[in-house]
Amino acid sequence: MDPIHAMRAFVRVVEAGNFTRAADSLDLPKGTVTKQIQALEERVQVKLLNRTTRRVTVTPDGAAYYERAARLLNDFDDLESSMTNAQASPKGRLRVDVGSSTAKLIIIPALQTFCDQYPDIQVDLGVTDRPVDLIGENVDCVIRAGDLQDQSLVARRIGTMPFVTVASPAYIARYGMPQHPSELEKRHHVVGFFASNSRRNYPHEFNKGDERIELAVTYRVSVNESNAHLASVLAGFGISQCVSFQAVPHIEKGELVEVMPEWTRDPLPVHVVYPPNRHLSPKVRAFVDWAAELFAKHPQLQRT
């Protein structure tokens, strides 16, 4: 039994959920895949899968084996690719994690160009605004805005996210247009945004010349996901600061109104971040270069 083939068969069974789909994806007979899994269990002397007539589930030992095996196969594929001419045609499974608004408005609309350019790369696109453990969750790279928290990771800056302070026309008609940030503490409502891991609400920050104001204002609604945040502002729950690439299309349609445009907020740097052991991977390098070019062309992501 080839241990690499058996390991790959096991990983595909876990990911596909049954032997039939796994066999089809590997272009092997179902019986061959079954024999490979049986031989693997005999080799490691651990039951990896629970089988019934309808479904296959992973045992606790099998789940632990899957995490290690998936990572080893990913590294093995990257090693083989780096030793061949795969620099020109990278291949394999690429696990990317992107913030929800970035995925919806920037990455997904353009992703077909990446898939056309690299047809042998299979993209697993995770979409979440929560922090991701790249090593623990076996993610190849993430795109995130803000300061880097883990200095052990490798990062490439690909853009900048400026903010704009906005409200719905209905909200302005009801509460009036504020002229100074301090008014948000008194007669206005805001839409808050809180961190998924700490539940801490981010402050609203305002700059004008040398004057800097930070407000931890009271909110009626606070969310932890960027698309929900924008939807809450559109629904008239209050004033808030949204990234420009989200807000500008709605301003142009008259669905949002810019508030106190003379008061700005420092833009956030945007990075592609990846573990050090992935920096030579052709598929990761291909995605990073593609994302950098995509962000460089976007009018709302390079403003300083």
pTM as predicted? 0.70
Q: Length of the chain, please?
A: 304
Percent of the chain whose predicted confidence (pLDDT) is above 70:
92
pLDDT at 256 over 60: yes
DSSP code at position 45: T
Q: Which residue has the higher pLDDT, 227 or 71?
A: 227
Rounded CA separation 281/67 (Å): 19
Dihedral-angle region of residue 68 (phi above 0 means left; psi in -120 to 50 means alpha; beta otherwise): alpha
Helices marked H in 83-183:
100-102, 108-117, 169-175
Let me know: does 230 contact 208? Beta carbons within 8 Å: no
What count of other Cβ atoms lies within 10 Å of the Cβ of residue 201?
17
- pLDDT(239) > 90: yes
Pairing of strands 163-167, 240-243: antiparallel
Look-up of token digits 């920096």 = 279
Residues 6+ apart with CB under 8 A from 24: none
Distance CA 114, CA 135 (A): 24
Q: Which pLDDT score, from 0 to 100, does residue 76 have?
A: 78
CA dihedral 175, 171, 229, 112 (to 10 degrees): -150
Higher-scoring residue by pLDDT: 96, 75:
96
Task: Please state the rounded mean pLDDT for residues 92-97.
Answer: 91
pLDDT above 70: residue 299? yes
Q: Is the pLDDT of residue 221 over 70?
A: yes
Q: Would you state the pLDDT for residue 83? A: 62
Low-confidence winner among 62-71, 142-151, 212-221, 247-256 (lowest mean pLDDT)? 142-151
10-24, 49-63, 99-113: range with highest mean pLDDT? 99-113
Q: Which residue from 178, 167, 182, 259 is spatially nearest to 214, judged by alpha carbons? A: 182
pLDDT, tens digit (0-9, with 9 covering 90-100), for 136-163: 677 889 999 887 777 778 889 999 999 9
Identify the helix (H) or strand (E) that includes residue 204.
strand 204-208
Across all residues in the chain, what is the average pLDDT? Answer: 87
118-125: average pLDDT? 93
**CA-to-CA dists, residue 181 to 161, 194, 222, angstroms:** 21, 20, 19
Q: Give the model's pLDDT for residue 186.
A: 84
Distance, in Å, from the CA atom of 294 to the CA atom of 135, rounded to the nearest integer, reads 26
For 162, which DSSP code? -
Both tokens assigned to 53: 């007539």
pLDDT in tens, 181-198: 999 988 899 999 998 777
